[in-house]
């Protein structure tokens, strides 16, 4: 048995072994010598290299083997430190923490040479940014993206030309016109399944509500789901913007609502039909005691007041005052609290006048 009072010495030049945690094929934490993990860089699989490239690209660095190896050594060192502090953190946990700390995580790096790992990393980062479901992509899709982005980057990448002049050689540099983020976004948007709203990217889903509101507020009810989804995708991808959509459908609404045409076209896109007939909607809400959110511009009572002869436009709109009288004298008004209270008050007054003790 070793004497605990005798200090232990490592052989001259020997380094103390350090360890970190890894996860085995069973999903169990296992202690592994750090130097062994560090040397495993050369045998990292494709998915592992993609994770390294995602971090490099999101920090505006061009993935190269040298930078990948430097990053790998950094995250291994981080996992070593966590092991010493008694925490079960693997190198992949460490890089995830680093990735989460990158502000924005937007692809800013564009370069001429792509390999499968850097192409997949670019695609993954942009997909996360726009909320695209990557499970929709097949291996063939990813291979096609690698081919496409490589060709586009090469064709529009930076070109350096040297030409001779009177003073010797002149170097002319043509800046790159290639933008990896824009290219990947456009490629993914083109993959969107317009016929399936459940498969729309998150950004398009957010835009879908805006598009539907613009259409509803202009009385546009003839577009199919795929057409509406396409508008949402175009809005989310920047192909169009909200003002352009409002302008386009205000112009159409002007034909469908001739009585409002002048006001709609005076400042195209500034107002919708719903904006211009707000007094009519407010009147229905007040006198029929309806929730304004449930009243639409296509409701029969409003439509007849705003365009009495449909799209012909020969008859003028009903005035708001006349519209209020119409509401008050309709059978629907008899169900309201003000009408019931009025009837009760009138009945009580009549009873008193007739000598009943009420």
Handedness of CA 193, 198, 203, 206 (dihedral sign): positive
The domain spans of the chain are: 16-104, 106-190, 192-272, 277-352
Residue 64 is predicted with a pLDDT of: 85
Model pLDDT, residue 350: 46
The one-digit pLDDT tens for each residue of the chain (358 residues) are 555 544 555 555 556 889 989 988 888 899 999 899 999 888 888 888 888 888 888 888 888 888 899 999 998 999 999 899 998 988 888 888 887 777 655 555 566 678 899 899 999 998 888 888 888 889 999 999 899 888 887 776 554 455 555 545 554 444 456 788 888 888 888 888 787 777 788 888 888 888 999 999 999 988 888 899 899 999 998 889 999 999 999 999 999 999 999 999 998 888 999 999 999 999 998 888 888 888 889 899 999 999 999 999 899 999 999 999 998 888 887 888 876 765 455 444 544 555 555 4
- Of 62, 147, 53, 174, nearest in space to 108 by CA: 62
Are 16 and 84 in contact by the 8 Å Cβ rule? The answer is: no
Question: What is the reported pTM?
Answer: 0.60
Nearest to 208 by CA among 194, 221, 222: 194
- DSSP codes, 285-354: HHHTT--GGG--TTSHHHHHHH-TTTTS--SPPPPHHHHHHHHHTSGGGGGSHHHHHHHHHHHHHHHHHT
- Predicted local distance difference test score (pLDDT) of residue 248: 94
Would you list the DSSP string of 128-168?
Answer: HHHT--GGG--HHHHHHHHHHHHHHHHHHS-EEEEEEETTE
């Amino acid at each position: 048995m070793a004497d605990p009072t005798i200090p232990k010495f490592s052989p001259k030049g020997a380094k103390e072994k350090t360890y970190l945690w890894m996860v085995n094929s069973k999903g169990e934490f296992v202690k592994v010598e750090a130097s062994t993990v560090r040397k495993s860089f050369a045998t990292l699989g494709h998915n592992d290299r993609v994770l390294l490239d995602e971090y490099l690209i999101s920090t505006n660095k061009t993935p190269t083997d040298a930078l990948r190896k430097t990053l790998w050594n950094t995250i291994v060192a981080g996992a070593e430190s966590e092991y010493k502090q008694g925490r079960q953190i693997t190198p992949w946990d460490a890089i995830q923490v680093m990735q989460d700390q990158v502000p924005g995580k937007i692809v800013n790096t564009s370069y001429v040479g792509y390999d499968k790992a850097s192409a997949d990393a670019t695609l993954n980062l942009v997909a996360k940014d726009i909320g695209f479901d990557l499970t929709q992509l097949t291996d063939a899709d990813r291979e096609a993206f690698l081919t496409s982005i490589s060709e586009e980057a090469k064709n529009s990448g930076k070109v350096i030309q040297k030409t001779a002049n009177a003073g010797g050689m002149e170097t002319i540099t043509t800046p790159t016109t290639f933008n990896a983020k824009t290219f990947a976004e456009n490629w993914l948007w083109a993959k969107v399944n317009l016929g399936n709203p459940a498969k729309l990217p998150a950004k398009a889903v957010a835009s879908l509500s805006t598009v539907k509101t613009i259409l509803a507020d202009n009385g546009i009810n003839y577009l199919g789901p795929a057409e509406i989804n396409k508008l949402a995708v175009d809005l989310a991808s920047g192909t169009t913007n909200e003002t352009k959509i409002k302008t386009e459908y205000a112009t159409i609404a002007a034909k469908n609502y001739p009585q409002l045409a002048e006001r709609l076209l005076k400042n195209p896109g500034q107002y919708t039909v719903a904006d211009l007939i707000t007094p009519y909607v407010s009147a229905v809400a007040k006198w029929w005691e309806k929730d304004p959110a449930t009243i639409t511009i296509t409701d029969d009572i409003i439509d007849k007041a705003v365009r009495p002869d449909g799209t012909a436009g020969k008859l003028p709109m009903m005035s708001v005052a006349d519209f209020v009288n119409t509401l008050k004298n309709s059978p629907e008004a008899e169900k309201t609290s003000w009408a019931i209270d009025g009837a009760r008050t009138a009945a009580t007054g009549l009873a008193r006048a007739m000598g009943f003790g009420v």
